[in-house]
Amino acid sequence: MNTLFLSKSDMAKLLQMDEVMRVVEQAFRDYAVGQAQMPPKAYIHTSNGDFRAMPGAVPGAVGIKWVNVHPGNPKLGLPTVMGVVIYSDPDTGYPLAIMDATEITAYRTAATSANASKYLARSDSHTLGLIGAGRQAYMHLQSHALVFPLETIRLYDVRPEAVEAFINHFPQFNVKKASAEEAAASDIVCTLTPATSPVVKASWVRPGTHINAVGADAPGKQELDPKILEMAQVVVDDLVQACHGGEINVALRQGLFKKEQVWGTLGEIIAGAKPGRQDAQAITIFDSTGLAIEDVAVAHLVYRKAKERGGYPSLEIV
């Protein structure tokens, strides 16, 4: 048997947001009913960033993602987040593919947020606030546009050039440069920064808002005023990971929020075990830490598509 090798450019051609949203939603459903497996992330910290090892399995697929987060990378011409997935045959253990995970991470993160918004945001939501204008802002606009009729996108970033580049990239959307406060006044707000202190104040958030808190994905990271957690119906992707390194991690350690206040997991809501939004005036939060089951589900999708198309390099490495 040969191992398939898929580069970043290969992945960009094989990935489609609507397909990713579908398989990620199913992965959460499988996880909630005990048909998927995922040990907690393992972290390694270095002076300039950190690495995460993320193993997981969904029905018919198993793999592991090795991914980094190095905030200083753009100055070196490198992405902040990079990674690879080793995708294996669950029956034999043979490594079926080694594929770039930078694109997988970009797609599945935004796909998960849009799925969360589908269940937790108001159905009449039409304004999207993006706080942070990096790669995830681009992906979150694409994913949410598949679910909601977006009339206005309010974009904030500390880098004016990043805001300008984003606006120029999406002439088909009504993207407006905004302050963080203005962006936070949207129907759906996505926080997409590497912040270690709040960038969104409680007084800025209106009743009926849904927030996807994405940037806090490691211990010490935090984007929201802890008072917002107290005000909101909080849903997590995985309770263990969220307590360790999600948006709630700092508030938990400071005694400003309790684990028992978490409403449930996204998987429980998707599977119908718990309701999502119940009140049009409620503030809802999805605490996204990024799950290995998302990566494996997307790797499974990509591998099948690559095998169907053919023409990709392979090597017998075992």
Q: Worst-scoring range by mean pLDDT, 72-81, 112-121, 234-243?
A: 72-81
Dihedral angle of Cα 180, 181, 182, 187, to the nearest 10 degrees: 100
Query: pLDDT-derived band of residue 273, with 50, 70 and 90 as boundaries?
Result: very high
* For range 286-299, the mean pLDDT: 97
Catalytic annotation, pick one of 41, 65, 118, 221:
65
Active site residue 258: no
CA–CA distance, 149 with 145 (Å, rounded to integer): 6
pLDDT tens-digit profile of 204-219? Answer: 999 999 999 999 988 9
| Residue 106 Cα to chain centre, angstroms | 7
The answer, yes or no, to whether residue 305 has pLDDT greater than 90, is yes
| 3-105+293-315 and 114-291 share one fold | no
Question: How do the domains of the chain map onto residue ranges?
Answer: 3-105+293-315, 114-291
Please return the burial class of 255, using the count of CB atoms within 10 Å of its CB with bins 0-12, 13-18 and 19+. exposed
The answer, yes or no, to whether residue 61 has pLDDT greater than 90, is yes
pLDDT of residue 218: 84
What CATH topology corresponds to 3-105+293-315?
A: ornithine cyclodeaminase, domain 1 (3.30.1780)
CA–CA distance, 210 with 224 (Å, rounded to integer): 13
pLDDT of residue 41: 85
In 33-172, alpha helices (H): 102-120, 135-145, 160-169
Token output for 91? 């029956």
Q: What's the chain's average pLDDT?
A: 96
Integer angstrom CA distances of residue 199 from 12, 120, 131, 196, 208:
31, 22, 9, 9, 19
**Count of Cβ atoms closer than 10 Å to residue 98 Cβ:** 18
What CATH topology corresponds to 114-291?
A: Rossmann fold (3.40.50)
CA–CA distance, 191 with 258 (Å, rounded to integer): 22
Token output for 169? 């990239």
pLDDT of residue 205: 98
Please return the burial class of 172, using the count of CB atoms within 10 Å of its CB with bins 0-12, 13-18 and 19+. exposed
The answer, yes or no, to whether residue 145 has pLDDT greater than 90, is yes
pLDDT tens-digit profile of 170-183? Answer: 999 999 999 999 99
